Amino acid sequence: MLLPYSYHDIYILRGDEEDSMKLFSSQNGESSTPKDGTEGKRGSDRKQEVDRFGYYQMIMFAIISLPLFLSAGFTLAYVFTAGEVKYRCAVSECENPLNTKFDESWVPDSVPNVSEMSKCIRYVVQNHTGACTNQTFTNATQKCDSWIYDPSENTVLSEWDLTCHSNRWKLTLVGTINNVGQFVGLIFAGYISDKYGRRTILTLTTFLSGISGLIHSFSVNYWMFLVFEFIDATVAAGIYSAGFILGMEMAGVNGRVLASTIICCMFAVGEMLLGLIAMWLRSWRMILRMVYGPALLAILLPVLIPESVRWLLANGKHEKVESIYRRMARINGLQISEEAIGAFKELNMVKTEKTEQLVQAEKKSPAMQVLNSSVMLTRLLACSFCWLTNTFVYYGLSLNSVAFAGDKYVNFILVAIVEIPAYFLTWFLTDYIGRKATLSSSFLLSGVFCLAIQFVPTGSLSFLPLILYMGGKWCITMSFSTIYIYTTELFPTNLRHSLLGICSMTGRMGSILSPQTPLLAQIMPELPLILFGCMALSAGLLSLFFPETLGTKLPDTVWEAENIGKVQQKQELQDSPS
């Protein structure tokens, strides 16, 4: 769902929010840029910009980190709440009703054991007297009708006896429903964010998620659990994208990559915290309460963080922007003169004839703006495919990887930790070789690694397939980090969250489809990796046609977005088409 175009975009500053911030940039109380826009006297003072990544931005990011941490738990809690637990058939003839134990000495003799002990079939008991032994059981088998669970953990599987193949679909359905809920939620999140502001959607979705999640933890049956899994995911769908955009728009042009890296690391840290919480509690109800409970603190966000400056400018709320700039300058140790304030108001409120013509040309619904621009439509379709590939390959590699031995909680935490170096490498590469090169190379290398596994001779170099597999996972993680910041920079302000939501929503289809890829291995064992490799290579080649956004300002209008990266763009902005 797309946002109707707003008349207030006549005050958009034509993308020059950075120019506005430079008005408040000197340490001695003088404006560094006079009203005519020329460079003012700098003397011996070093010019500083209000939007540099200073104390103010650090404080804001620390506050924004709470909902971002929580969003990881909201997204992945089902891994533990609907996860597997150890269980065995209950043998009523042998169980001690007063002291039932999971590990009894006779258990290995009670069930068939081919590659592993059966959990759904047991041997028939005959002539039972006293303690159960090997002679107690016959070779005849029967289906189990009750089970004994490992008491060290509790999930919905043990809560409602979701055992054996007949109930397997109920466990996998939880993850699918979660992703479908996020898919639906993203439709509305982008609209609300662009219409009512980034802070509004961040506060609303986080707080409502807390309420929904706590109710979820009191589910009385599987179907109630499933319904609230959908509600939780739908409500929480906009948290990460809203926090991401708010952080990106707050960081300024020089801090965007650092901001993106910090936000991605916040999500990874949230995954680690989820793993620690699950390891500590090992009860699905308590996990939900611990993860969702802190979300109620989001009611304080409107008091603690400001609305996005870019969103306020795009909607003509200049008095609020002035107040935010004053506060930002004060916390960052800068001073603002009244001359700078006057220049700011003049710069923002004067509507030239060319600006009016541009606004009238773009005063259409966002849907029409995209459909009427072949550049924007093509870019949206290409970005959507890249998002689909990213999620499909990322989650597909996770689901199709060989299960590592050891504690599942430790493995989950370690996988989250591995993502952090990949994010920082992305930060380095996107600033030095550019967004396009980083995204394309990440996709291409991931595809090459996935396809190269098929050419490793069977029985030799047994460690090499695992190295190639992890290489593919590492690279697709890097592309995940890059695609978020890149997509943000490719679309104009009034369409940014809506189009980012469309891309993210398309990507969610990949995460919905990826759980089905293990079925492809039944046709041909190599088929999933071949599919991952081909899709990653296709996305890598397609992304080569995107414009480079390194060092450019965020576009505010469709025309500016169409002309990203053109050498004469700054001059053309003064002579834009009517």
Per-residue pLDDT tens for 45-72?
433 455 566 788 888 888 888 898 899 8
Q: Is the pLDDT of residue 174 over 80?
A: yes
Mean pLDDT of 246-270: 77
Q: Is the pLDDT of residue 363 over 60?
A: no
In a domain, 323, yes or no: no
In a domain, 439, yes or no: yes
The residue from 135, 152, 169 where one domain ends is: 152
For residue 48, what pLDDT is reported? Answer: 45
The residue from 152, 171, 187 where one domain ends is: 152
Q: Is the pLDDT of residue 286 over 90?
A: yes
Confidence of residue 342 (pLDDT cuts 50, 70, 90): low
- Length of the chain in residues, anyone? 578
Q: Closest Cα partner for 375 from 524, 560, 126?
A: 560
Mean pLDDT of 98-124: 74
Q: Which residue has the tokens 């996709």?
A: 443
Better-predicted residue by pLDDT, 274 or 526 = 274
Better-predicted residue by pLDDT, 517 or 270 = 270
The least confident of 48-52, 232-236, 486-490 is 48-52
Domain count, the chain: 2
Q: Closest Cα partner for 536 from 467, 465, 445, 464?
A: 445
Q: Is the pLDDT of residue 340 over 70?
A: no
Confidence of residue 575 (pLDDT cuts 50, 70, 90): very low
The least confident of 29-43, 147-161, 318-332, 404-418 is 29-43
In a domain, 133, yes or no: yes
Q: How far apart are CA 233 and CA 174, in angstroms?
A: 11
Better-predicted residue by pLDDT, 560 or 52 = 560
In a domain, 79, yes or no: no
For residue 154, what pLDDT is reported? Answer: 92
Better-predicted residue by pLDDT, 115 or 196 = 196
In a domain, 333, yes or no: no
Q: Which range of residues forms the domain containing residue 391?
A: 373-566
The least confident of 42-46, 136-140, 247-251, 448-452 is 42-46
Better-predicted residue by pLDDT, 505 or 365 = 505
Mean pLDDT of 461-478: 81
Mean pLDDT of 254-275: 81
8-state DSSP, 125 = E
Q: Is the pLDDT of residue 303 over 60?
A: yes
The CATH number of residue 383's host domain is 1.20.1250.20
CA 397 to chain centroid, in Å, comes to 17
Mean pLDDT of 186-193: 81
Q: Mind listing the pLDDT tens digit for each residue in 407-427?
A: 778 877 877 787 888 888 888
Q: Closest Cα partner for 535 from 450, 437, 435?
A: 450
- Locate 94 and state its tokens: 């042998």
For residue 1, what pLDDT is reported? Answer: 34
Q: Is the pLDDT of residue 8 over 80?
A: no
Q: How far apart are CA 160 and CA 62, in angstroms?
A: 40
8-state DSSP, 97 = T
In a domain, 349, yes or no: no
Considering 74-83, 118-127, 440-449, 542-551, the range whose residues carry the highest mean pLDDT is 440-449
Element (H, E) at 482: helix 464-490
**In Å, how far are 155, 245, 278, 314, 432 from 551, measured between CA atoms?**
49, 18, 42, 21, 11
Q: Is the pLDDT of residue 273 over 70?
A: yes
The least confident of 146-155, 325-334, 347-356 is 347-356
- Locate 231 and state its tokens: 């509600």
In a domain, 412, yes or no: yes
Q: How far apart are CA 74 and CA 239, in angstroms?
A: 10
Q: Is the pLDDT of residue 390 over 80?
A: yes
In a domain, 122, yes or no: yes
pTM above 0.85, yes or no: no
For residue 252, what pLDDT is reported? Answer: 64
- Locate 521 and state its tokens: 């291995």
Mean pLDDT of 560-570: 66
For residue 6, what pLDDT is reported? Answer: 30
Task: Give me the amino acid identity at 44.
Answer: S
CA dihedral 149, 151, 157, 162 (to 10 degrees): 20
CB atoms within 10 A of CB 494: 26
What is the percentage of the chain residues whose pLDDT exceeds 90?
Answer: 22
For residue 241, what pLDDT is reported? Answer: 81
The residue from 128, 152, 176 where one domain ends is: 152
Q: How far apart are CA 524 and CA 517, in angstroms?
A: 11
Confidence of residue 313 (pLDDT cuts 50, 70, 90): confident
Q: How far apart are CA 470 and CA 41, in angstroms?
A: 55
Mean pLDDT for all residues in the chain: 77
The least confident of 433-447, 464-478, 561-575 is 561-575
For residue 37, what pLDDT is reported? Answer: 43
